[in-house]
Structure 1
Amino acid sequence: MDAKTPISAEGMPDAAMKYRPYPQINIPDRTWPSKTIDKAPIWCSVDLRDGNQSLVNPMGHDRKARMFKLLLDMGFKEIEIGFPSASQTDFDFARWCVEEGGVPQDVSLQVLVQCRPELITRTFEALEGAHRPIIHFYNSTSELQRRVVFGKDVAGIKQIAVDAAKMITDMAAKAGGGYRFEYSPESFTGTELEVALEICNAVIAEVKPTADNKLILNLPSTVEMATPNIYADQIEWMCRNIDNRENIIVSLHPHNDRGTGIAATELGLMAGADRVEGTLFGNGERTGNVDIVTLALNMYTQGVDPELDCTDIERIKAVYEYSNEMTIPERHPYVGELVYTAFSGSHQDAINKGMKAIRKANSPVWEVPYLPIDPQDVGRSYEAIIRINSQSGKGGIAYILQEDYGLNLPRNLQVEFREDIQRITDEEGVELPAKRIYDRFIERYVEQPGGRLKFVDHHTYPAGTDHKGVRIVAAEITDGGETKRIEGTGTGPIDGFINALSTYLGIELSVNDYSEHSLQHGSNASAIAYVEVEHPGGKLFGAGINKNIVAASLEAIVSAANRVLEERAAKR
């Protein structure tokens, strides 16, 4: 055992003893818990810098250009395009953006630079000719990095930031102005609040922000170290105490080390922040940056315009995967392959009913169980909402058949057919595609290739003056391939035909339920009829499809009769 391994009171190694809880923030009158997000923040994409530096294979020019075009199309007004002083590749891409990127006048290019004179000079060279670019300068301020990495006290770290602020503002003035400025106390969440405030106020005093040229003060959760409420407390405390607050844009740059980057950002906005830096779908170092697409669509589902265009989520996904050479997980919020898919039977039934209700109500308000967002709003379709496996229920199967094939199954038939599909999925242990479900329905209820009986034709005529309202139904069927003529009487074709079939088979049959509907529109439309037939052993459905609705109904009766015969044969 390592001599340094912590030992618990019981004498056993205790790994948790290596860690200490993050201290609470003393802010008893905090206001953020009662706030709501009612407008979009300023968004800044850092996909091309923070996201890019975390890739196994950093983007080349083509992949960067494809991502840059997407970000412009989505409506980002601030885009961090790289770290031009760090590599020739980033420098060249910054020049391409300025000279050939087609940047609109209302979009600011942002670049990152450490607080080092030679890097600052190179950064200005990269941005020459850009319209209102943002110089984002930073230095680490955390207690751990001051002590372990830099070996400097607070005064030494503060001086680094102030010297950089002075050099940057002087160079911007000499270049004729038109620059914007952003400062980040890197590792803000690991910095004592009083220290962070002291350093930030010193930078503010040097930059001298105005209403026309506000300073972006970026307070990053460079490493997520505590619960989201503590980050919110830190942001509210800084918003209350920083100098010249009215001319400061407080920005968040959360990472996702604890898996709560989204929550931390939302609470940070409630705490007073104005701006968010993040990446599409959360790419970034370690567990990633905060996911801007999820944040934006979270706002959208609360009735807040996110001011980013996420209507073509498939294109956004495709560019992300091409440029980053990464794959978005199937369960990723809003964009994953399976997020609009329900396997559970109860979920499927609720979705099916919800979709019907919202169409009937014709309401502008989206209210469908288990679907917080209308898939069509992000360019997805309803086709994949419900997929069928052994956990699926009648509602899901009914939805598939209705949406994809126009079959509106009666409820009892949904229950009956679900048992058939359940048996197949249990045996095969796999998901059944929609066409397989449809083909099984047609085979089982309509075509019945092994069925003993087939309907051929019929005609009716009055039973005579002594039997008013009664008609004779003469029908032609085949029984095992042999043509048979049967007759029966009733008030109509269905009644007369089932009486004829009952007499022929020697089985008492009656119609318990009947429904029909058109399958297509127009003069060549076919109809489908569903008939539930009661017999001495119970009830079974049949279905028939024909251009003639009466013929479809009689075919459905024959279909049900075949299933009665099949069931009786199985019991012998």
Structure 2
Amino acid sequence: MFTQRPSGMPSHRYRDVHARVEIPLTERRWPERSITTAPLWVPVDLRDGNQALPEPMDPARKRRFFDLMVAIGYKEIEVGYPSASQTDFDFVRLLAEPGLVPDDVTIAVFTPARPDLIARTLESIQGIRTPVVVHMYAATAPAWRELVLRRSRAELAAMIFAGAEQVLRAAPANVRFEFSPEVFNLTEPDYILELCDGVTRLWDATPEHPVILNLPATVEVATPNIYADQIEYMDRNLARRDGVILSVHPHNDRGTGIACAELAMLAGAQRVEGCIFGNGERTGNVDIATLALNLHAQGVDPMIDFSDIDEIRRTVEYCTRLDVPARHPYVGDLVYTAFSGTHQDAIKKGLADHHRRAAEAGVSSSEHPWAVPYLPIDPADVGRTYDAVIRVNSQSGKGGIAYLLETEYGIELTPEEQVEFAHHVQRHTDRTGTEATPAQLHDLYQDYSSAS
């Protein structure tokens, strides 16, 4: 039998999350559900994402990013942490100018549950006529309470309730309320319920005037099913559930932030906070572009327009000064590209079949149901052409080479020619160690034809 050697790493120093937080949930409903509608999306690139940048955005970059998010359809956007810096404060003040925020867009501002910082935050939104969410937070998990805040459960609860009362008392009429128990996923469930029910009572949460309760996996520490259990427990036990918009804010420390968000939606979450391409502290916030396009790939309208994904990427890269990796889901340069011969052959045949079936049905290729091997969505949906779907290197095969010659130059090879010419191309790519462009393939074909 195969055996593995112990790594020698000090894994014994760590505890499974079950040893730290016991979730009193024995019957789960989320495994039997499907996601059928998009959640309320809230990009936090201008606040949470901005805090994670080596070079935080200047006002011009923030403005350009904000305009992008409005243009592609976001209706609620967290725009800053006004008490954290003068730059953030000034940007929120800029949004008070008439016409900068569309009437159907809600902006959100972020504040700790501290009297002076709440006051500074409320000062920043004076004069803004469109709806504003004041998002108040406090860290609630034991290590944060004891080591950082140095408060007991009762003392921290008193601080949070005092902050909620201050926000209620001083906020203008166009303000909605949001509360985040930071590090929710490492906090005792009974304490979270005590805090959330206390806040929704103070803010008088009703279906007509709902309160946002945002439950973040501030540091991802468990498998996604654990987070789903925690969200379902809250969904089923909140005192004013019909007056609550249940929100989640997953991080990606374990690389499963997207799975956490999707399972949380199955468990009752109605709203998701994240960054468009997942920027954020450590390994990042949840990637809401990937989440949205995952829905699209399942036949669910994501309610956000990613039809020009490359322009969105260019804008985000400019504003953040961070590159989007080539293998990033949906948006990376290479995610719709096949170099492997077997993949190329399947894609070539799948695309031909797709176009044939669309013609037979009398509809355009863009309207016909999509079922092409290795391509989970039609690249054209996000503004990509088919030019880069198949590219040739030493790993490529006859199908991909034949596809490029036919689509680029109208040259159709017989099955025998495909085999022979593929050997000719592979000798070239093995020798050079580089990719062969369509133009180079055409030159190689001319040499091959002359020799034949």
TM-score category of the 2 structures, normalised to the smaller one: over 0.9
1:152, distance to aligned residue in structure 2 (A): 1.4
Q: Is structure 2 residue 182 aligned with structure 1 residue 183? A: no
SS of the residue 2:232 aligns to: helix
- Identity fraction in percent: 50
Distance 2:399 2:141 in 1: 56
- 5+ residue gaps, structure 2: 1-6, 362-367
Q: Hey, what's the Cα distance between the residues in 1 that align with 2:131 and 2:285?
A: 25
Q: Which secondary structure state, in structure 2, belongs to the residue aligned with residue 404 of structure 1?
A: helix
- Partners of 1:189 and 1:100 lie apart in 2 by 40
Q: Partners of 2:94 and 2:407 in 1: how far apart?
A: 48
Which one of the candidate residues 288, 306, 327 is aligned to 1:310?
306
Asked whether the 8 Å contact 2:276–2:289 carries over to 1, the reply is: yes
User: Does 1 or 2 have the higher relative contact order (CA < 8 Å, sep 6+)?
Assistant: 2
Report the structure, 1 or 2, having the larger strand content: 1
Q: Tell me, in whole angstroms, the C-alpha distance in 2 between the residues paired with 1:27 and 1:416.
A: 63
Aligned residue among 280, 300, 309 for 1:284: 280
Matches within 5 A, 1:176-255: 177-255=173-251
Whether the 8 Å CA contact 2:131–2:176 is kept in 1: the answer is: yes
Structure exhibiting the larger radius of gyration computed from Cα positions: 1
Secondary structure of 1:401 counterpart = helix
Aligned mate of 2:59, from 54, 58, 61: 61
Q: Contact (CA 8 Å) 2:24, 2:233: kept in 1 or not?
A: no
1:426 aligns to what SS in structure 2? helix
Partner of 2:428, secondary structure, is: helix
Q: 1:190 to 1:397 in 2, by over 3 A?
A: same
Deviates more, 1:63-72 or 1:95-104: 95-104
Counterpart in 2 of 1:159? 158
SS of 2:272's equivalent? strand
Q: Which of 4, 10, 20 is equivalent to 1:15? A: 10
Deviations 1:405-453 (A, max 9, x none): 11222222111110100111111111111110011112321xx2xxxxx
Quote how far apart the aligned CAs of 1:121 are. 1.3
Q: Distance in 1 between matches of 2:292 and 2:182?
A: 25
Q: Describe the superposition over 1:257-302 as per-residue Cα deviations: whole angstroms up to 9, x where unpaired.
A: 0000000000000000000000011000000000010000000000
Could you tell me which residue of structure 1 aligns to residue 365 of structure 2? none
Per the alignment, residue 146 of structure 1 pairs with 145
* Aligned residue runs from structure 1 range 464-483, under 5 A: none
The 8 Å contact of residues 138 and 180 in structure 2, kept in 1 or not, is answered as: yes
More divergent stretch after superposition (222-231 vs 204-213) = 204-213
Q: Which residue of 1 aligns with 2:434?
A: 430
Tell me which stretches of 4 or more aligned residues in structure 1 moved more than 4 Å: none
CA displacement at 1:14 relative to structure 2? 5.2
Q: How many residue pairs align between the two structures?
A: 435
Correspondence list, 1:38-49, <5 A = 38-49=36-47
CA distance in 2, matches of 1:77, 1:264: 23
Determine helix, strand or coil for the equivalent of 1:340. coil
Distance (whole Å) between structure 1 residues aligned to residue 353 and residue 23 of structure 2: 48
User: Which whole-Å CA distance do the structure 2 matches of 1:245 and 1:381 have between them?
Assistant: 46
Displacement of 1:102 in angstroms is 2.2
Tell me which amino acid in the other structure corresponds to 2:407.
E
Of the structure 1 ranges 308-317 and 209-218, higher mean CA displacement relative to structure 2 is found in: 209-218
**Larger deviation, residues 142-151 vs 95-104:** 95-104
Partner SS for 1:280: coil
User: What is the TM-score when the length of structure 2 is the normalising length?
Assistant: 0.94
Q: What pairs with 1:79-478 in structure 2 (closer than 5 Å)?
A: 79-99=77-97, 102-130=100-128, 131-172=130-171, 175=172, 177-362=173-358, 364-445=368-449, 448=450
1:129 CA displacement = 2.2
CA distance in 2 between partners of 1:203 and 1:393 (Å)? 62
- The AA in structure 1 aligned to 2:193 is L
| Mapped partners of 1:246, 1:324: distance in 2 | 38
TM, length-normalised to structure 1 = 0.75
Alignment-mate amino acid for residue 242 of structure 1: L
CA RMSD of aligned residues (A): 1.4
What is the distance in 2 between the residues matched to 1:305 and 1:86? 36
Instruction: Tell me how far apart the structure 2 counterparts of residues 441 and 81 of structure 1 sit (CA, whole Å).
Output: 55
> Residues 536-547 of structure 1 correspond to what in structure 2 (within 5 A)?
none
- Select 1:75's aligned residue among 73, 76, 79: 73
Q: Give the conservation status (yes or no) of the 8 Å contact 2:220–2:252.
A: yes
Give the match's secondary structure for 2:108.
strand
SS of the equivalent of 2:180 reads: strand
Distance in 1 of aligned mates of 2:429 and 2:96: 57
Instruction: Provide the residue aligned with 2:3 in structure 1.
Output: none
Q: How many Å separate the matches in 2 of 1:26 and 1:246? A: 22
